[in-house]
Amino acid sequence: MAEHGDPQETTASAVVCSRHGPVGLLSICRPERRNALNLRVKRAIVEHLQRLGADAAVRAVVITGSDGYFVAGTDIAEMEHMSPTDHVLGATDEVFHVIRRSSKPVIAAVEGYALGGGCELALACDIVIAAEDARFGQPEIRVGIMPGAGGTQHLLRAAGRYKTLLWSLTGDMIPAREAYLANLVSELVPKGEALTRAMAIAEQIAGMPPLAVQSIRDAVRWGGDAPLESALAIERRLFERLFDSRDQKEGMRAFLEKRAPAYQGR
């Protein structure tokens, strides 16, 4: 893994991993296929995320594409002849699970297209920053299949039943502004600025107490599908648990002493 903006492409696939202080950056670089996901790219993302997750110096991760695209979809040429068994044995959905369960916050920086598997990749992240001219969508129905890595379920939970069925059954693209209004996008930025803004947010989160960051992510993830009373109980237990942490003591002491806190993730 390269350090401080000196990326090196992996031999396994066109995914570049670099470190920028406490932020890990993954760049998908298959410009000739508009960064379409194939098995090698998926496996490389998994390997890099696992490595970054084990690095205590990394506090947040950003995923982006290259040459003005995020990910235009999953590689149809590779999928065309796959069987159900191939999908199971190849764990073709592993990368989406790894992103959702990442021990570090993951931010998608979306320029250009985020379609099919690319849309699902973005929606698996914690935060989505998109350029104003970006395009999202789940066009799988147009090639005889359906979203299979979270597309229908993320759309349903963010945008509701009627938008989800409209977009999934027509395969139409979703302009970034509409995606933002449907709660699929965290923030819109001018064209070409998604990565800059995503990195700034990642650096801001990296300065927060790691245990509190993880607890907030857990509360949102575990509480999202739970009844309200159960979700409130989950939030309360996570809140109480933080009072056993050194970071809670440091954060409150620093506030009272009017100085910057020094969090240690303990």
The torsion angle over the Cα atoms of residues 92, 93, 94 and 100, rounded to 10 degrees, is 160
Residue 74 pLDDT more than 90? no
Q: Which sequence spans correspond to the domains of the chain? A: 2-206, 210-256
Q: 2-206 architecture in CATH?
A: Alpha-Beta Complex (3.90)
210-256 carries CATH number 1.10.12: yes
The percentage of residues in the chain with a pLDDT greater than 90, rounded to a whole number, is: 82
- Mean pLDDT, to the nearest integer, of 129-149? 95
pLDDT of residue 13: 57
pLDDT of residue 4: 41
Residue-wise pLDDT tens digits, 209-244? 999 999 999 999 999 889 999 999 999 999 999 999
73 vs 70: CA distance, rounded Å: 9
Contact 146, 125 (CB under 8 A): no
136 vs 257: CA distance, rounded Å: 47
